Structure 1
Amino acid sequence: MNRPRYVVGTGADATTVLRRLAREGWRTRESFALPEAAWDVSDARLVLFGRIIDVETVRLAVLAAARGAGVVAVIECESDLGRALLADLSRVGPVVRGVEDGTSDALPLSEEQCQLLERLANGETIAAAAAAEYLSLRTANRRIAQARDALGVTTTREAVLAYIRRRRR
């Protein structure tokens, strides 16, 4: 299941996203600190939200995402903290910047995932694509697995085909 990860600029944008997620069955809670003792909270369908105000809240938001919670963070994306948050969250999985209405054909992939899929679409092996992008083979495989999850497919071949189809739009 694809975990929601949103970085928005205003509280109103966060409210829009949170209402849509609540309609889809997600539980929302303000604060990025996880109350559950278990490490993996992905089965809880929990979305944490709040304003990013310092490095500590960036750390908490990224940790929550890594533990399987959805995240809706309010911060100016072009600020230093915003760029740090986007970079760190993108390592966990795809991040949506701003409000997305669910009808967009935009790729739900990080730049790194797009680069890997582009190389695979051009006939490179995963090992060659990883080397060309200065990634370990293990990291490249994890990014491709995240891309498969984000695109809703089960095989790398299907991910590459979905990437090609969506890229052309």
Structure 2
Amino acid sequence: MNTQIDAPRHVVASTAEADTLLRRLTREGWTARPGFALPDPSWDVAAAHLVLHGRIGDDDTDSVRLAVLAAARGAGVVVICDAESAAGRALLDDLARIGPVHHGADGADPVASLIPEQRALLDRLAAGDTIAAAAAAEFLSLRTANRRIAEARALFGVRTTREAVLAYLRQRQPD
């Protein structure tokens, strides 16, 4: 069983947003701890319900690496950073490979939270491709494409791929 799916992964712009998220997560049973280094030597820390938090600067690649490693090991992360910086983009891309990442405040635009692979797949599905054809065109395995689409459905809060494509088309910014 993969326990990391339930671990929260948030990237926010301000300390106030992080504080709000941390209060909510603490109420939900998570233990908040500053910094991204894990104290537990065991690999899977999901059972500890630990959420690590802190700020990552524009060129802080070490903190990005630690935050991604913590998320991969099952810890939750709440990161304050500029998502447009090189470190912020790297962080979002790497965290998205682990699972869904909540970017910005709760209720933010789900399209902004999509990674490029998800956008490309949804664009191809909207153009009439099957999931298998879209996966092949994007050089993804069918399994990875299905996972990315499932994550997009979760971001949009819908049950079917068709609903996710329609929500994506309604909410995306025109090119």
Task: Using structure 2 for the length normalisation, give the TM-score.
Answer: 0.74
Are residue 8 (structure 1) and residue 9 (structure 2) matched?
no
Structure 1 residue ranges without an equivalent (≥5): none
Q: Where does residue 126 of structure 1 map in the other structure?
A: 131
Q: How many residues align?
A: 163
For structure 2, list consecutive stretches of 5 or more residues without a partner in the other structure: none
Corresponding residue of 1:46: 50
Shift of 1:58: 0.3
Matched residues in 2 for 1:75 and 1:51: separation? 6
Partner of 1:77: 83
**DSSP 3-state at the match of 2:145:** helix
Q: Conserved in 2, the CA contact under 8 Å of 1:7 and 1:72?
A: yes
Aligned CA distance change for structure 1 residues 77 and 130 (closer, same or farther; 3 Å): same
Which structure 2 residues correspond to residues 1-169 of structure 1 after superposition, within 5 A?
Answer: 1-53=5-57, 54-100=60-106, 103=107, 106=110, 109-120=114-125, 123-147=128-152, 158-164=159-165, 166-167=167-168, 168=170
Q: Percent identity?
A: 58
CA contact (8 A) 1:109 1:147 kept: yes
Contact map agreement 1:7 1:98 (CA 8 A) in 2: yes
What is the distance in 1 between the residues matched to 2:127 and 2:28?
Answer: 37
Give 1:161 shift. Answer: 3.9
Q: What's the CA shift for 1:130?
A: 1.0
Aligned partners of 1:73 and 1:84: how far apart in 2? 13
d(CA) in 2 for partners of 1:92, 1:105: 20
Give the superposition deviation at 1:40. 2.1
What CA distance in whole angstroms lies between the structure 2 residues aligned with 1:145 and 1:37? Answer: 32
Contact 1:33 1:60 in 2 (8 A): yes
One-letter identity of the residue aligned with 1:143: R
Q: What do residues 89-109 of structure 1 show as CA deviations (whole Å, max 9, x unaligned)?
A: 122222222221xx5673664
